[in-house]
Structure formats: C-alpha cells, structure tokens
Structure 1
Amino acid sequence: MFKLLKTAGPLLLSLLLIVPLAACGKEEVQTVRVAEVTRSIFYAPQYVALAKGFFKEEGLKVDLKTTWGGDKTMTALLSNGADVALVGSETSIYVYARGSSDPVINFAQLTQTDGTFLVSREKIDNFTWDQLKGKTFLGQRKGGMPQMAGEFVLKKHGIDPKSDLKLIQNVDFANVPSAFASGTGDFVQLFEPTASIFEKEGKGYIVASFGAESGHVPYTTFMAKQSFMKKNKEAVDKFTRAIYKAQKWVDSHSAKETAETIKPFFKDTDPKLIETVISRYKEQGSFATDPILDEKEWKNLQNIMGEAGELPKEVSHDILVNTEIAKKAIK
C-alpha cells in the first residue's frame, strides 16, 4: 500500500497543482443581451464584431435579437428583456423626458449619419429638391429619427413638409417599402438594401441621400440603463472595445471584404448587393470610425428633433451620454 502511494504520489501532486491553475486561468464568459432596432447592413460593424469574434476575445457572449422598431426596442430594454439596445439616440431623450428614475445612457456610437435615401418612382437625370413640391412623399414614422432627418433636409432646401407636398407618415416602418411598391407616393424615404433592390428591379430610382445632407448625428448608438452600466461596468467596457475593433476593421477593409464577413447575417441578400450598400455607406461616412458620441453631434441631433417639433425638452450631453467608456476603449 505504501509502495503504491509512493509511486502515485508525484502524479497526484501534479494533478492537484494543475487543476487549480486551470481553474484560475479560465475566465468567466458573460452574456450580454442586445436588442437591435432592425436587421440592417447599416449596422455592418456590429456584425463584423460578431463574425470576427471580437466580443469573444473580450470574454463576452452576445445574444442578439431584432426587435423591429424603436418603441419595441426601448420596451425590451426598459422591461429588462435586453441589457443593451442598438437604436436611435432620440429614444433616450424621450425616455428621460418622461421622468425616468433610471435613465438610458448612450455609451457607444455605431453610425454617424442618417441611413436613408430618397427614391423616386420615375427616373430623374438631373434631380433638384424643389422637384418634390406638389408631390406625394411617403416618409417614415412620425417621431423617429429617419422622419425627423427627412424633414430637416427638406426644410434645408426650402421645402415645407406640411404645405409644399403631401406628406404620408402613418405607415408602419416595415410596410413602407410595400406601400410604395403598390403605388403609394411619388417619392419615398428608404433604407438600404431596399433602395438598391428597388432600383435594380425598376421599382424606383435613388436620387439623393438624406445622410449626406443632414450631417453628422448620433443616428444609431448602443445604450443601456444607468443601473445596468453601474452593475456591469467591466462588461460595458469590454463590449465597447469589441465594437471599436470592428469599427477599425471596417474602416481599413474594402466593401467587398466587409460584405463577405457579414454575409451570414443576410443570407437572403445578394452578396454583390451587400457590397454595393456598404460601399455607398462608406463613401458618405455613415459608419462611425470610433464609438465616441461628441457634443457637436448631440446638438445636431436636438436641432433636427427641434425642427421636426419632436424635442420634448433639451437635454445636455453629459446627462445622457457617457464618453469616458468610449475614450478608454480607443486608448
């Protein structure tokens, strides 16, 4: 018996040493539940972060679900159905204005321009904005960032959305393309890839970009409730670092490489079309190259909301935006 213990002793000692070391070396993986407002090529850096394993590198598992609409996305966040929301920054202002005791904080910007395009039913070789006067314009949902940016651009070009054209904005977000395809409106405001698909199929023609016209704005950001951010500071830091890695990757790689990377998230979309859309967004600087939401962009957001009559109250940048996390991520 003693001889057996003497022989097995070194082996047992080795196992006793290895097991604690292995346990110490294994970092716990935290799951972060993300609700995205829609599934869109516009959010390419997010899908790159997932496909390239940037979240995994940070010790995070991201559970992504599409909630289809700003209201539904914020409901998921506020009811603890999600930890992080990817949605327009205006929603955080709406929540704050209602007197929330647990405000929603913007901590990482993903897109920095509007992502919609003006599509005409008829082909126009030399488009000018005054050609919308007297026409029927099928816009986006009232109070949403696409519609507010759309009205801002119209006013910028001397067009009163209420009197110079027939403005339709009571069609649900998901049904706008089908409404236009069925004959509603002379012009429509569409996201990609629908705008390019319509052009390819001869259903409409892209004549202008609302993103190029409205300037830099925190169009889509990652946000979370203040309580979640306080309890999960490290996870939010890791999440932001992963997003920044993806932003740098998209910025330094071609539209084709990015399209190939995010293709699994758009299985029913022609890869060539994905490339075209990414190229268009890159050309107009829609993808933020870092996650910092600066004060100038925040002011532009509130200017656009104010012009549309949708700003419930002005909120200073430091109340609903945390830039320290993003600044830390890029160091």
Structure 2
Amino acid sequence: MSGPITLYENFRALFYTPFYLTFEIGAFEAEGVSVVMGESDTPGEGAKASLERDDAISWGGPMRVLHFHDKDPTSDLVCFCEVVGGDPFHIIGNKPNPAFKLTDLLDVRFGNFIEAVTPWLCLQEDLRREGINPADLSRFDGNTVPENMEAFKAGKLDAVQVLEPYAEMLLREGGHLWFEASARGPCAYTSYYARRQILDDRSDELQAMTNAMAKTLVWVHSHSAIELAEVVSPYFPDFDIDLMTPALERYKQGGIWNTTPMLNVQGIERLRAGLLSGGLISREIPYDEIADMRFVK
C-alpha cells in the first residue's frame, strides 16, 4: 500500500489560507486521502522534492513550473489544481492617494518585495503596459519586508509592496492603500504541482486532493473572514485574529481565491507576460505544456 502524500508548503503566508484550511476542516480525510504537510525552509524546496520523490507534491507559483520548462522543455512538472488566481500584493503609500495611478510611482521612493520574484515581475509588467520603464523608478530592491516596513515608518521610503497582514499593520499605523494588484484580473499565483508521472501513478489520491480543494474553496467563499481567521490562527501564532480578519476580508473582496481548481488560461498568460518582460523566461511556454487539469470536474 502507498504511504501518505507529502504536500510541501512553499512558505508561510496568509494568502495561502485555503491550503491550511484543507487540513483544518478535514477536507482530505473526507475524501479518503492521507496527506501530511511538509515544511520548506525556503521557497522552491517543495518543487525540488516534487521532482525527486514519488510521494511528494508542492504548492507554489506556476512561475516556478514555467521557469523549469523554460530551462528544460522536457520537464514533466505540471500544475494540476489552482487555488490562488489573483495577485495578493498591495502597494501601501505614505499619504492619501485615492486616484492612484501607476505613474505616481515615478515620483516616490519605492521598496518592492524581494523574498520571491513573482510580485515584482508582475508589477513591472503592469508598469510597462502603462508606458513606464521600470528602470525609471526610484526603487529600493535590497530590503526584506520587515526592513521595508521600518524604512517606510521612518520616512525613508514613500511606498512599499507588501502582502497581508503586513499591509494591514501599515494601514493601522497611518499608511494608505494605493494599489491592490488583484485589480489587474486573473494572474496565476498558486497551484498544486507535481510530475506527470505522479499524476499517473497516484491518480486516485491526487483526484481526491483536488476534490478536497474544490470543496475547501466552496467553504472559503461561504464563510466570513473572521471564521477563516479563527480556523487558520494556529498557523500564525504571531498574528491576532483581530489583525488577520480585515486582511482576509481584503483578500476575499479582491477575489484572489479561485471558485474552482481550474487553472485559468488568462491568468497563465498574464503571469507569463511578466516573466517574459522581466527576463525570467525566454519563450512563450504553452498552457498545455505546464498544466494538466484532468482532475478538475
């Protein structure tokens, strides 16, 4: 008998809430599949495990799958269940700007997110589509999120690119919400991925995992932000439910979480455009090369 599937976490983040919920609401057990969580010290470790092991899959950005295929068109790593189909990052500014335009970033000192490449690559594509050369920004790209937050509060940066609940923290300390990247529309951000061989060899289990996520997404959209916060709070011991609730509500209102596990073609195309213009990949990798939606009903 096969052992449990190890599902590797990419890194700990509030926008991954549906992934934690599958464990907490018993979605896997209800589908009769044994899944254990594997933690990654750095983003990408789960992808490495997925390539090397017969019992491991990962959640993470389709960016990584596109990157693997750009380097090796014969790679059999594929996305098979999308969960986060919108960009979860925000730009917080130091003054009210209800009519914010991306061109406003030309006039400020801006700190972008550096812990992963996708947030900046997608944003720089937004800039290009508005006729802005990203190189023209006064951009500080050497700070971690805590360092950017400190610089922002000290008046050394005018705007920062952050995820929740750090955006909520800054808003409570006088920051202003300038831009929600989810407003650009579909942008493939997080899915399950594994080798096609595992999809073949353990199809019943991966079908059950996809079914479990489909039901979890229904749960996400039928429950309040405070209910989500209460259920996932064990994963975020440093954050109060009072802090997480408005952050999760912002994500719900922004529509970052899918209603079904289908990997959105438009979302992949939008992500791919950012990776191409940002130089991470060098060719227009077809959807069918990196996606296998056999388990989505």
TM-score, normalised to structure 1's length? 0.81
The correspondence for 2:161, drawn from 189, 193, 199, is: 189
Looking at structure 1, the residues matched to 116 and 248 of structure 2 have their Cα atoms a distance apart, in angstroms, of 27
The answer to whether the Cα contact below 8 Å between 2:8 and 2:57 also exists between their aligned partners in 1 is: yes
The answer to whether the Cα contact below 8 Å between 1:113 and 1:215 also exists between their aligned partners in 2 is: yes
Looking at structure 2, the residues matched to 266 and 98 of structure 1 have their Cα atoms a distance apart, in angstroms, of 35
Superposition pairs of residues 46-195 of structure 1, within 5 angstroms: 46-67=19-40, 69-80=42-53, 83-99=56-72, 101-120=74-93, 122-129=94-101, 130-141=103-114, 144-163=117-136, 165-171=137-143, 175-182=144-151, 183=154, 185-195=157-167
Task: Report the number of matched residues.
Answer: 293
Change (3 A) 1:81 1:231: closer
The correspondence for 2:182, drawn from 188, 206, 211, is: 211
Higher mean displacement: 65-74 or 99-108: 65-74
3-state SS in 1 of match to 2:4? strand
The correspondence for 1:201, drawn from 173, 191, 196, is: 173
Q: Is 1:244 the counterpart of 2:217 in the alignment?
A: no
3-state SS in 1 of match to 2:262? coil
- Residue deviations 1:120-173 (CA, integer Å, cap 9, x gap): 2x222435223221422211339821111111222334432112x1223344xx
The answer to whether the Cα contact below 8 Å between 2:3 and 2:55 also exists between their aligned partners in 1 is: no
Alignment-mate amino acid for residue 277 of structure 1: A
Runs of 4+ in 1 over 4 A off after TM superposition: none
- Residue deviations 1:293-322 (CA, integer Å, cap 9, x gap): 132222222122223233322111112101
- Residue deviations 1:67-117 (CA, integer Å, cap 9, x gap): 254333323333339711111101101111222654211000011111100
Higher mean displacement: 220-229 or 55-64: 55-64
Aligned to 2:281: 311
Higher mean displacement: 265-274 or 83-92: 265-274
Looking at structure 1, the residues matched to 105 and 196 of structure 2 have their Cα atoms a distance apart, in angstroms, of 43
Q: Is 1:37 the counterpart of 2:27 in the alignment?
A: no
Q: Which has the larger Rg? A: 1
Aligned to 1:257: 227
Aligned to 1:297: 267
% identical equivalent positions: 24
3-state SS in 2 of match to 1:291? coil
The answer to whether the Cα contact below 8 Å between 2:46 and 2:57 also exists between their aligned partners in 1 is: no
Looking at structure 2, the residues matched to 52 and 134 of structure 1 have their Cα atoms a distance apart, in angstroms, of 46
3-state SS in 2 of match to 1:326? coil
Aligned to 1:231: 201
3-state SS in 1 of match to 2:216? helix
Higher mean displacement: 139-148 or 129-138: 139-148
Alignment-mate amino acid for residue 213 of structure 2: I
Change (3 A) 1:91 1:82: farther
Unaligned runs of 5+ in 1: 1-27
Looking at structure 1, the residues matched to 282 and 8 of structure 2 have their Cα atoms a distance apart, in angstroms, of 25
Unaligned runs of 5+ in 2: none
Aligned to 1:17: none
The answer to whether the Cα contact below 8 Å between 1:248 and 1:289 also exists between their aligned partners in 2 is: yes
TM-score, normalised to structure 2's length? 0.90
Looking at structure 1, the residues matched to 291 and 171 of structure 2 have their Cα atoms a distance apart, in angstroms, of 38
Q: Is 1:286 the counterpart of 2:286 in the alignment?
A: no
Change (3 A) 1:275 1:82: farther
